[in-house]
Structure 1
Amino acid sequence: MKKSIQIFLFAFTFICTITSFAQDKLATKGDGQYEEYSFSPAIDIYKKVLDKGYVSVALLKNLGNSYYFNANYKEASEIYKRLVKDYGEEVGPEYFFRYAQTLKSIGDYKEANAVMTKFSEVTADDARAKGFKEEKDYLKEIKKNSGRYTIKSFQYNTSYSEFAPSFYKEGLIFSSDRDTGNFARYRHTWNSKDFLDLYKVNTSNGSDSLVSKLGDDVNTRLHESTSAATKDGKILYFTRNNTVEGKYKKDEKGVIRLKIYRATFVDSINAWSNIAELPFNSDSYSVAHPALSPDEKTLYFSSDMPGSLGASDIFKVNINENGTYSAPTNLGDAINTESRETFPFVTSEDVLYFSSDGHPGLGGLDVFATKIAKDNFDGAIVNVGESINSKMDDFTFIFNEETKKGYFASNREEGKGADDIYSFIENEPLLLDCNQQITGVVRDKISNQVLVGASIKIIDEDNQEILSAITDSKGAYSLELDCNQGNFVRALMEGYVPAEEYIGKSDGKAKIIDFYLERDKILAGFGDDLAKLLQLSTIYFDFDKYIIRKDSEIEVEKVIAAMEKYPSLKIKVNSHTDSRGKDSYNLWLSQKRAEATVDYMISQGISKDRLSGEGYGETKLVNDCKNGVKCAGKEHELNRRSEFIILE
C-alpha cells in the first residue's frame, strides 16, 4: 500500500510539473480580470482552475470575492468556508467577516454568529466586532422594527435590473439596464449586464405612465445610476463612470471610478445642460450615490476616498450659496464601519437612512436609520427590520415622511430581475426614540450622608430644563431621558454647590450617576483639620526634604481657595516627619516643612497674619513606624505630612 501511495504521489507530481505552466497562465488571466473588477469572466476562469484540482489561498480569495461582490452569496459561502477551514491562519479577519455575512444570507445565523465570534477574537478594535459583542441578540432587536411595512413590487420592474429610485417632481428617477439595444462591447464585465441608464416615470398617474430615458445629455454609453434632484426639479445630481471627453478613464489599477455630476434643467430647450463633475471627485477613488438634505444645503454621498474607515463610507459637503462646496466630511465611526456604508437618504425629519453590511443585519446590505438632528452623527443606529430588509442586499431606500410612502431596491430571490424596486407604506413609526434610564444617589461630599430632597434636573444643550426629580428617603433618584440628544444631569440642594454631568448621545444603555455635593459654607470650628473637611490628599514631602512636591501644590491651592472665600479664616500648619533620623533633626526638618508651606501660601497672596506653622518632628506618628520598627517606604511616607488646623 505504501508503494502504491508513493507511485500516486510521483504521478501527481509529474502531472503537476507538465501542466502547472498552463494553469498558472490561466489563473493569471483570471487575476487580470479580477483586478479590473471584471468579476463575471474572473469567476469562469477561477472555476476552471479549481475544477481541475488546483487550489491556492489567492485563488480562493479572489473567487470568493468575485461571488461576494456579485451578490452570489450561496456560492461565496462555499468558497469562504473552504478558505477559512483550510487556510484560516493565512487569511485576514476580513474573510471571516465576509464568510459570516454570506452565512446570514443563506439563513444560517447560528454558524454566522460562531464565525463572527472568531472574527471578534482577532479584531477587538474593529467597529463590527464591537457591534457584534454589544448586540449578540441583534436578531431580537431587528424584530422590534419588523412587520411595520406593506411592500409591493414596483409595477415598472422588468427582467433586467431596476434600482436607485429617487423622488423627482410627481414621480421617480431610477436606474436600469433594460435597454437591450446596447452593443455587446458596452456590456459591463462586472456582472455581464448591460450598462445602466437613468429613466423617469410619473407615478401619480398610476399604470398609465410611460417610462422614458432622461436623454443622451445625461445618459452615456457607460453607467449612470443613483441620483438626487432638488424639489423644483431644476438641479440633478447623479452618479456616472469617470469619463474624459466622452471616453471612459481608468485609474492606475485599470479601474473606471465613479463620480458625481451636476446637471441643470433648461426649460427653453427642454433638456439637461451644464453637466459638470463635482470638484471633490477624483480619478483615484469613487464618489457616488448623492442625497440632499431637506433644506438642500447639504449633499451626502458615499466614497472610498482617503480617510474612509471601510470599503466605502458616507460623507457630506456643504453646498454654498455661491455654488461652491465645502471639503468633504466623514460622518464618523458611529455610522461608518470597516465594511460598506452607502446609498444615503435624509428625510424631512432629519432621519438618515443608509445601507450597510458592517452593522448587525440579516445578511448582505441592510437598511439602517439614525437621527441626525443638529448635525450630530453619533446617535443610535437602528436596523429598519423586515420586510424592508432580507437575507439579500437591500438598498437605495427613500421615504416621504408626510405620506409615509417610499421605495427601495433589493436583489431578493422573489424579484422579477437581477435587482427590483419595491414600493412600501410605513404602517407604524420606526422605533428611533431612544430612552435612557439614569439613576443615582446624592450624598454630602464630606460626611457621605445621603441628601433627601435634592433636586435633579435634566437640561438640554439649549440650556432648557426638560425633566426634574427629587431624591427620596435614601437619597436616590431615577429619570428617563432622550438619548438621541446630549443632556446635562444637574444636582442641586440648598446649602450646597450644584454639580452636573454631561451625557452625549448614546445607545440607550442605563447609566448610574452619583453626586457628591460640596457645602457652600464650611461648617467647622476651632481645632478641625481643614484638610479633612476639604477631603484633601495628604501634603507629602520627599525623604529628608522640606520643599513642597509638585503633586502636593494643587492640594495647598485648595486650602488657599478656601481662605480666599472666607477672609476671616485663620489656620495653623502642622508638619510632621517619619521616625527615621535623629529626633532633634526631625524636629528641625518638620519646622522647615511647616515654614515652607506657610511661605508658599503667602507667596500666593494669603496674608501672613492669618497663618502660622509648627513642626512636630516624629512625635505624632499616624502608624506604628516608630524608632526601631522596620517599615516599608510607603508606610514611612504617611508620616511625612502637613495638616491645616482651624484657629479662627
Structure 2
Amino acid sequence: MKLKNYILTCFFLSLSFIASAQYGSQKKADNLFNKFSFVSAAEVYHNLIEKDFNADYATRQLADSYAYMRNPDSAVVYYQKAVQQENIPVEYYYNYAQALRGIKEYKESRVWLRRFKEAGGVVKKDRFSKDSDFITSIFNAKQQYFLTDVNFNSKYSDFGAYEREGNIYFASSKDEGVSTKHIYGWNEEPFLDIYVKAKDSNDSIVSHKSKIEGDINSIYHDGPLTITKDGKTMYFSRNDFNKNVLGKDEKGMTHLKIYKASLVNGLWTNIEDFNFNSKDYSTGHPSLNSDDTKLYFTSDMPGGQGGSDIYYVDINSDGSLGSPKNIGNVVNTDKNEMFPFINSEDALFFSSDGHAGLGLLDIFGTVSDADNNIISVLNLGVPVNSSKDDFSFFMNNDGLSGYFASNRDGGVGSDDIYAYDRIPQLKIEGTITDATTNAPIPNAVVTLLDSNDNKIADLQTDENGHFEINIDRDTDYKLNTKKENYIGDSRTVTTKGIENSVTSINADFVLNPVVDEKLPITELYPIYFDFNKYDIRRDGTVELDRIVDLMMNKYPNMVIKIESHTDSRGTSEYNDILSKERANATYKYLIEHGVDASRITEYDGFGERKLANDCDGTINCTEDQHQLNRRTQFIVIKME
C-alpha cells in the first residue's frame, strides 16, 4: 500500500511539474515573440502543439511567427488550421488571405478576404499591398501599439528616450532655468543636452538641474546615448567637439561623432574619441547589442548604400573597437536609415525614409533567420508611425513597452517623446482552497474549455494551490476543477469587454471535501423534472419533504449544496438557463418549508455539462434515459 501511495504521489508531482514547465514554455515563447525573436518562438510553439498544451493559441502564434519570418508556405499551413478554430479572432481570416497572397494563391486569398469582410472585418487602405509586403500587412492587421503622452516634453526638441534601472535618459534642447542659451542656427533652438529623470517621478518640470552629471554635455549637440549592462561605460553622440576643439570639414560644416565615457565616482568623464570617426562625415545614434559585444550606429561615411546607413563595429575584450561594417541592403537603402536600436533578443529596430512607409521617417523592426541573418523588415504601423518623422525607438526588456519620438501634429514641441505599450497577453489565474480549512489545494486538476466544451488544456495547481494560463481576449471559456476527495466545481469565464490594460483575470475556487462515507446518514436522492420545465413535480415534493425533515430534525447541523441539470436536447445556452431555474425552484422550496438559507451553501445549474449517462446527442436514447439527466442532486457538505 505504501508503494502504491508513493507511485501515485510521484505521478501527480510529475504531472504538476510537466504542466508548470509547459506554462513556462508558453510564457517564454510569448516573450520571444514580443521581442521579434520569431525563430526561437516558433520552436517553442511547435513543442507546445506537440504536447497539446493550449494548442489552438500556439497554432495561431506559430502562423504569425512564420508570416513574420517571410515564410508564407509554412504560414499558410498553420493559418489554415487556425481559421478552423471556434471563436477565432476575425483578423486571422485576413492574415490567412494575406499569406495565401504571399504564395500567389490569389483566388483563394480573395475567398478568405471576403469571409473577413463578412465577419465584420474592415480592410484598411494602406501602402503595403505588394506581395513582398504581405508580412507587414499581417503585422498591421490589428493595432499592435497604444500610445500615452509623457509629461516631460518641452516646447523644443525632445527625443532619444532610453530607460535604465528606473531612470529615463533623453536628449533635449529645452535648457530650462539657465540665463544664457546656446542657439543652434539651423532651427533657432538651443543645442541638445542629455537629461535624466526618475521614471516614477510625476514631476513634469525637467530643468537644467536634471542634466546628466559629468563631462557629457557640451555647448554643442549631445545625445542620444546607450549604456553598457554593467553601467560603467556610455557611448553617446556629440558634435565633433572634444577638448574644447570644434572640428569642421573643408566646407566648414561640423559633423556628429560617437564618443565613449566612463562612470567615475558618479560622474561621466574620461571622454574618448574613436578612429572610425571623421571630420568629413557623421557617426551617431549608438546602440549596444545584448552582450555589449557590438556597437550599432548611423553614418553617411563613403561606401554605403546611399544617404545614411546602419553600421556596426565589434567591441573587443579590451574595450577597443573594430572596423565599421555595413549591415547590408536588407536594411539599408539608397535613402536614409538611422537611429538603430537593438533589443534584448538582438532584434534591430531603425528609422528609414527609404522603405515603404506612411510618411517621412518611419520606424521598422527586423526579422532574422535561425543563423541571425536579417531577412526582412516590418513597418510598425500606426500609431507608432505617422505622416511625419518617427524615430529613436526604444523597447524595454519586457518587449511590451518603450518610447519613440515624433514631430507629428498635436505635440508639445518640435519633436516629442511618446511612450507606447503593446497589448499584453491576457492570462487567467486563480487559487484553489479547501472550504473548511482555507488551506491551498495542490495538484488539483483545472481543465480549460472553450464555449463548446472542447478541452483546451489541463493544468495542475502548484504547492500554493495556484494555476495560470494564457487565454485570448474577446472569448468565452469554461473552467472545471477536480481533486480526489473533493467535490469538483465549474464556472464560465468571459474576456469580452476587458480593457487592453488588464493583463490578468482571476478565477479562485473553494472546494468542499467529500463527506466521510462512514457517517451514518440516509442518502439524499435526486428529484426529477419534466422536459423543458422547472416546476417541482409531485414525486419531487415527497423527496424534498423528506430532506426538510432530515435537516430540521435528525441532522440539524447538516449543510448541503444543490446542483441541477438538464438533458442534452436544446442549445447549451438555453440548458444553462433552464438548469438554473430548476436549482432556484428547489432552493425556494426548501427555504419556504423551514430550512435555514445558511445551510445551503450554493444552488446552481450546470445545463447538460454533467450528464448521468451517454445521452449527449450522438446516440439515440429513450425518454426514460433522458429523464435521468433532468435532475437536481443534493450534496452533503458537512454534518457538524
What is the TM-score normalised by the length of structure 2?
Answer: 0.44
What is the TM-score normalised by the length of structure 1?
Answer: 0.43
Higher CA-based Rg: 1
